[in-house]
Chain A
Amino acid sequence: DTAVSQTPKYLVTQMGNDKSIKCEQNLGHDTMYWYKQDSKKFLKIMFSYNNKELIINETVPNRFSPKSPDKAHLNLHINSLELGDSAVYFCASSQAGAWQETQYFGPGTRLLVL
């Protein structure tokens, strides 16, 4: 069974569109994260949720809106996509909050904005 899954794995879209990426974990973890990895492989934390509550929001444009309907899911909605949003987005989860324990990553969603 996949521990952390993301859909879709690939996403190609036009500038200005709105898109969503879904993440689900079946590990029973309390904390979930979204990371962005740019074309130079630089990783950056975007958001973290603990038991459906937003605990970290790292200067991400408000076009990005995470939503956690329950603690097993953390979705990322992106409005008015821009070329600079092209990246790989990783979802992760951990048992404890804010990086205190091992994180488990999803396979990533490769977003290309044309």
Chain B
Amino acid sequence: GIQVEQSPPDLILQEGANSTLRCNFSDSVNNLQWFHQNPWGQLINLFYIPSGTKQNGRLSATTVATERYSLLYISSSQTTDSGVYFCAVEATSGSRLTFGEGTQLTVNP
């Protein structure tokens, strides 16, 4: 099956800093999503982005499907951005949504 690798596994930032999270995948995809899980466990679907670029406030995501990666940008980070960010993909050859292991982000005040 498709492999999904996220980097870095852990990231610690000071409030106000910018960051880039990366998601690499091993096969062509027709679906890619980013999720945030806050420290209390609540999951939020941030972006549905199989290709191109989308922005939502301080967050933006870019997927380059031909090169098999996606990037999540967080600008002017806030403590509320802390949590785990997951990338998930659906391979063109299959119907399963496969998750990466996540990036644990800690934003310190």
Choice from A43, A92, A101 contacting B48 with Cβ under 8 Å:
A101
Any B CB within 8 A of the CB of A54? no
Instruction: Tell me the bound Cα distance from A28 to B99 in angstroms.
Output: 26
Number of interface residues of B (CB under 8 A): 20
Any B CB within 8 A of the CB of A45? yes
- Chain B, 52-102, CB within 8 A of any chain A CB: 84, 86, 88, 90, 95-97, 99, 101-102
Instruction: Tell me the bound Cα distance from A42 to B31 in angstroms.
Output: 19
Is B43 within 8 A of A45, CB to CB?
A: no
Is A108 within 8 A of B99, CB to CB?
A: no
- Chain A, 55-100, CB within 8 A of any chain B CB: 56, 58, 88, 90, 92, 98-100
- Chain A, 4-28, CB within 8 A of any chain B CB: none
Is B101 within 8 A of A42, CB to CB?
A: yes
Any A CB within 8 A of the CB of B18? no
In the complex, chain B residues whose CB is within 8 Å of the CB of A102: 45, 48
Any B CB within 8 A of the CB of A105? yes
Residues of B within 8 A of A (CB): 31, 33, 35, 37, 41-45, 48, 84, 86, 88, 90, 95-97, 99, 101-102
Residues of A within 8 A of B (CB): 40-45, 56, 58, 88, 90, 92, 98-105, 107-108
Q: List 15 A-B contacts (CB under 8 A).
A: A43-B88, A43-B99, A44-B99, A56-B96, A58-B96, A92-B43, A98-B95, A99-B48, A99-B90, A103-B45, A105-B42, A105-B44, A107-B41, A108-B41, A108-B43
